[in-house]
Amino acid sequence: MNDAKNDVSNDASLTTGGTQGAAIRLERALPDPPSVVWQALTEPEQLKAWFPCEVTVADGIWKPGAAISFLFGPEADNLTMQGEVLEAREPESLAFTWGEETLRFTLTAQGTGTLLVLIDELRPGIAARNAAGWESCLDLLATGTRDKDAWQPRFEHYSAMFSQALGEQEGPPAGME
């Protein structure tokens, strides 16, 4: 997943309503075909390279109803969240709960690469922090690098964008500053 040519805006977009009250949408044009991107979304070793925590799926199989554990490290007090696979259609779409949120990944062939769309359905107060965080994660997926100093300016940008529609935005969870 290196040398991504990105003709898609990296900015997250916002929708309101739905079951959680808000959803953020991010897109990335990736140079690899959907089958390769699917592996990055579902194989434990590849997930470790870009997802914000360790992901364990029951029996190692991404299928609807499978339980998922999300294990954060000591920087987040070794927090463990639970989730469930909602949809797994290789290599087109993957959806699962992530704590109280729902994450949806859609992969669409685009030339020899893939357009990846991530939609995070979440409560309104955390839209800016999650948009900033997912933008960093998707940068890592696309390029293999992450700018550790980028989160705060991104958060401020999204807070300004989203606060009028959603109200005050919460910063990072405790221990994740």
Evaluate if residue 103 carries a pLDDT over 60.
yes
Cα–Cα dist 51/60, whole Å: 17
Q: What percent of the chain has pLDDT over 90?
A: 77
> Would you say residue 171 lies in a domain?
no
Give tens-digit pLDDT for 1-39: 543 333 345 689 998 877 788 999 999 999 999 999 999
Write down the mean pLDDT value for the chain: 90
pLDDT for residue 97: 97
* Stronger pLDDT, 112 or 147, i.e. the higher one: 112
> Would you say residue 6 lies in a domain?
no
> Would you say residue 173 lies in a domain?
no
Supply the DSSP symbol for 173: P
Structural domain of 35: 13-166
Helix axes 151-166, 127-143, angle to 10 degrees: 140
pLDDT for residue 3: 39
Give the pair of three-digit tokens for residue 175.
């221990």
Average pLDDT, integer, range 94-116? 97
> Would you say residue 5 lies in a domain?
no
Evaluate if residue 107 carries a pLDDT over 50.
yes
Give tens-digit pLDDT for 108-119: 999 999 999 999
> Would you say residue 176 lies in a domain?
no
> Would you say residue 175 lies in a domain?
no
Question: What ranges make up the beta strands (E) of the chain?
Answer: 13-17, 21-30, 54-57, 67-71, 80-89, 93-98, 101-110, 113-122
> Would you say residue 31 lies in a domain?
yes
* Stronger pLDDT, 84 or 1, i.e. the higher one: 84
CATH of the domain at 103: 3.30.530.20
> pTM of the entire structure?
0.90
> Would you say residue 120 lies in a domain?
yes
Number of domains in the chain: 1
Give every CB contact of residue 162 below 8 A, 6+ residues apart in sequence: 14, 22, 127, 128, 131, 169
